């Protein structure tokens, strides 16, 4: 069941577009903002509001990297794995990060604190390698800086 608040926010998104379906990505984002991810049940309820089939909505949801159809931890780390970061030593950073968190790409730490995902170029190749935690951008990241960054996210 979607909450009253979610329903209201989705209705607002619908009011901004010419037909209901056109609000579907925004609607999924509303649900995700409240819950961290979009479950099958939430997806079905959202689809009903948009007069879409769950299938149709899921095909949109799974197209976009930033819509999570699986549970994620409290904080999501996006590690840039594109060319400039690679050239600037991203592989060592990845190794360290995976060792520290004891997880691989797509996994969540057992304490549910972090999920680690690869991401395309974060648009800061002049300060590579780069990563993002919950939308905060970190530049020129060295393995030494990792502890300090991670400690900010409880």
Partner 1 sequence: MGRKILTEHINVPGINTLEVYRKMGGYRSVEKALKTMTPEEVVEEVKKSGLRGRGGAGFPTGMKWSFLAKPEGKPRYLVCNADESEPGTFKDRVLMEKIPHALIEGMITSSYALGARTSYIYIRGELMFVLRILEKAIAEAYASGLLGENILGSGYSLDLHVHPGGGAYICGEETALLESLEGKRGNPRNKPPFPAVQGLYACPTVVNNVESIASVPWIVNNTGEEYAKIGVGRSTGTKLISAGGHINKPGVYEIELGLPVEEFLFSDEYCGGIWKGRQFKAIVAGGSSVPILPAQLFLKTAEGTPRVMTYESLSEGGFVSGTMLGSGGFIVMDDTTCIVRNTWNFSRFYHHESCGQCSPCREGTGWMEKILHRIEHGHGHMHDIDLLVNVSKQIEGNTICPLGDAAAWPVASAVRHFREEFEWHVKHPEAATQ
Instruction: Tell me the per-residue interface mask from 91 to 130 with partner 1, x by CB under 8 A, - otherwise.
Output: ----------------------------xxxxxxxxxx--
Q: Which stretch binds partner 1 (CB under 8 A): 36-44, 55-63, 108-116, 141-149?
A: 55-63
The residue behind tokens 């970190």 is: 138
Measured CA to CA, the distance from residue 34 to residue 59 in angstroms comes to 21
| Site residues for ligand FES per CB under 6 A | 80, 82-85, 121-125, 128, 130
Closest distance to ligand FES from the beta carbon of 83 (Å): 6
Instruction: Tell me the per-residue interface mask from 27 to 46 with partner 1, x by CB under 8 A, - otherwise.
Output: -xx-----------------
Chosen residue from 137, 145, 149, 150 binding partner 1 by CB under 8 A? 137
Neighbours of 131 (CB within 10 A): 25
By CB under 8 A, tell whether 60 contacts partner 1.
yes
24 is in an annotated binding site: no
Measured CA to CA, the distance from residue 35 to residue 29 in angstroms comes to 10
User: Which ranges of the chain would DSSP assign to H, the alpha helix?
Assistant: 4-15, 24-35, 40-50, 54-61, 83-87, 90-101, 146-151
Chosen residue from 10, 24, 38, 43 binding partner 1 by CB under 8 A? 24
Measured CA to CA, the distance from residue 49 to residue 2 in angstroms comes to 10
């Amino acid at each position: 069941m979607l909450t009253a608040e979610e329903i209201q926010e989705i209705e607002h998104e619908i009011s901004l577009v010419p037909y209901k379906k056109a609000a579907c990505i925004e609607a999924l984002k509303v649900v995700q903002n409240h819950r961290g991810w979009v479950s099958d049940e939430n997806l079905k309820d959202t689809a009903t509001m948009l007069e879409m089939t769950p299938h149709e909505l899921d095909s949109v949801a799974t197209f976009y990297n930033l819509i999570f159809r699986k549970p994620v931890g409290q904080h999501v780390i996006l590690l840039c794995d594109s060319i400039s970061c690679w050239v600037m030593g991203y592989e060592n950073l990845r190794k360290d990060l995976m060792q520290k968190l004891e997880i691989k790409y797509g996994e969540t730490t057992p304490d549910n604190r972090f999920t680690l995902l690869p991401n395309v170029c974060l648009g800061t190749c002049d300060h590579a390698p780069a990563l993002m935690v919950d939308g905060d951008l970190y530049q020129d990241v060295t393995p030494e800086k990792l502890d300090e960054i991670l400690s900010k996210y409880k």
